[in-house]
Structure 1
Amino acid sequence: MSVKEVNGGYVIDFTLNHERFRETIPAPHNKTAAKRIEEQEAIYKMAISLNDKSIASRFPNSKIIQKAFDTGCNYTIHDYSNIWFKQKQRNWSHTTIRGYSQKYNSYIKPNWGDLLLTEFKASMFDEWAAFSSLSAKSINETRNILKQIFIRAMNDGVISKNPANLIERYKQHCKEPKPFTASEISLILKHLQTPYAQFFQFAFYTGLRTGELLGLRWEDVDLSKRLVHIRVSITSGIEKPPKTNGSIRTVELHSMAVEALNTLKRTEFVDLKRVFIDPRTMKEYKYADGLRKYVWKPALTKINIPYRCPYQCRHTYASMMLSEGKNPLWVAKQMGHADWGMIRKTYGRWLDPNK
């Protein structure tokens, strides 16, 4: 007998045409249910042996019937990328959506978008990566997107395995920070005019991320206690909470950061809401590109300082604090890291071995 009682129901288990079929059906243990399950098994066998899908339609939820009449996957990678995006994007930040979309539309869609999910092979990705001029970081980010699409399809039962799991991560070479020296900082701040000088002075002596600088509100500043509370960030023109829970923090202000704020409050470039505003429009910043292109880069060029992106202000702060002997855990907290692992990994050369 190929119908057996199990806890909570019955198991149909038989082999037909050298293929095994097995399914558990919840049902009470009595003669009526057992007879019904046996009849159902007989119908399964007949439907499979006759290849009669009309009979199979009577059992749309049957795993056995699904297996027997599986016509294969009809979804392309592009089809399922749309499903994945729609289902997941609510949990993503604006920058994550933009990053995923850029990687998908630039690399995944033109190379493999038209392939069925079952047609894709890991070797296809490796061949593309071998001739790509992208950094290992970008290749790994593309791999991750592809992998997530296949995970969604596998979890939905559309495919049985994830071919992207066979793609190994590419080795990434961490770029060591290039902080500015004290003399370079002095030159930069002397060259910049108000309120740009105060913006970058505050950046150098707090280590805030660019979005956190743009989003900083006067209500989050406590000059009497020399503290700022990081509660919002502006990315691509959108105000939102900082990137991680650890990024929601209170930062102790360096005396030079306090000086920048006090100087700014004595100028006409003061807004009721944001600490830093665009002097050309007298409105809050939505994007940082203008600061980089038209203020930061020309200033470095004019005073003959090798170009580094404004984010190096954050690296400068971390390296300065560590060089002064500050506790790495304190520095990590100041910068919004969950622990000091990132500090150790990124700023190891500035750590005091005796700390």
Structure 2
Amino acid sequence: MDGQPGSRRGTRKNYRISLTLYWMPHLALLPIDQISSAMIRKIVGETKWKSSRVKRSAIQRLHTMFECAVNDEPITRNPVGSIELSAKATKPVAPFTVVEADVIIGHLYKVLTGSMQVYAAYFEFAFYTDMRPGEIAALRWEEVNT
């Protein structure tokens, strides 16, 4: 693992933890071609998950591992492929109110000087157009309606 970028090390660690905690106790001693979708569904149903997010991630990681086995050909079908994932939980968005946005923008214009005031203008633009950073970055001048 030495020499790997941090994100890959973290990914490996997350996979290892997920596999060790949720799947290895049930599947480690079974030949890979003997693991069925029914077994996976039973494990999923009997496991006490910390949260739906943890459950979803653990199933996705197992799916990825079996997909690699399908690609490498020790098995012909991914037994996790038929396991339905719970809907991904979305966090409610709590945007700033107009008053809060005005306070933030006013503060930025007050404390930023010179060319740094471009950041105040950026946030003013972002707040009042409801555009996300990626949308702002992709914006071209000819798309701006003046």
TM-score range (shorter-chain normalised) is 0.5 to 0.7
Instruction: Kindly indicate whether the alpha-carbon contact (under 8 Å) linking 2:33 and 2:74 is maintained by their aligned counterparts in 1.
Output: no
Alignment-derived partner of residue 133 in structure 2: 332
CA RMSD of aligned residues (A): 3.8
Instruction: Kindly indicate whether the alpha-carbon contact (under 8 Å) linking 2:66 and 2:78 is maintained by their aligned counterparts in 1.
Output: yes
**1:254 corresponds to which letter in structure 2?**
A
**RCO greater where, 1 or 2, for CA within 8 Å and sep 6 or more?**
2
* Residues 107/179 of structure 1: CA separation in 2 closer, same or farther (3 Å cut): farther
Please report the TM-score for the alignment, with normalisation by the length of structure 2: 0.61
Alignment-derived partner of residue 169 in structure 1: 85
Rounded to whole Å, the distance in 2 between the matches of 1:171 and 1:99 is: 21
Determine if the alignment matches structure 1 residue 100 to structure 2 residue 15.
Answer: yes
Q: Which has the higher strand share?
A: 1
Rounded to whole Å, the distance in 1 between the matches of 2:115 and 2:37 is: 56
In the alignment of these two chains, the number of paired residues is 124
**1:168 corresponds to which letter in structure 2?**
E
**1:109 corresponds to which letter in structure 2?**
M
Counterpart mapping for 1:40-59 below 5 A: none
Secondary structure of 1:145's aligned partner: helix
Deviation of 1:114 (Å)? 2.1
Q: Which has the higher helix share?
A: 2
Rounded to whole Å, the distance in 2 between the matches of 1:180 and 1:108 is: 42
Q: Is there any run of 5+ residues in structure 2 with no aligned partner, and where?
A: 140-146
Instruction: Kindly indicate whether the alpha-carbon contact (under 8 Å) linking 2:49 and 2:55 is maintained by their aligned counterparts in 1.
Output: no
Rounded to whole Å, the distance in 2 between the matches of 1:157 and 1:173 is: 34
Q: Deviations over 1:181-216 (max 9, x none)?
A: 777xx9xxxxxxxxxxxxxx9xxx8xxxxxxxxxxx
Determine if the alignment matches structure 1 residue 254 to structure 2 residue 120.
Answer: yes
Rounded to whole Å, the distance in 2 between the matches of 1:135 and 1:175 is: 14
**1:326 corresponds to which letter in structure 2?**
T
Q: Is there any run of 5+ residues in structure 1 with no aligned partner, and where?
A: 1-85, 187-200, 206-222, 228-251, 256-316, 340-355
Instruction: Kindly indicate whether the alpha-carbon contact (under 8 Å) linking 2:33 and 2:75 is maintained by their aligned counterparts in 1.
Output: yes
Structure possessing the higher radius of gyration over alpha carbons: 1
Rounded to whole Å, the distance in 1 between the matches of 2:25 and 2:136 is: 39
Rounded to whole Å, the distance in 2 between the matches of 1:99 and 1:112 is: 18
Deviation of 1:93 (Å)? 2.5
**1:226 corresponds to which letter in structure 2?**
M
Percentage of matched positions with identical amino acids:
19
Rounded to whole Å, the distance in 2 between the matches of 1:138 and 1:335 is: 33
* Residues 95/254 of structure 1: CA separation in 2 closer, same or farther (3 Å cut): farther
Deviation of 1:174 (Å)? 1.3
Rounded to whole Å, the distance in 2 between the matches of 1:123 and 1:321 is: 53
**1:112 corresponds to which letter in structure 2?**
L
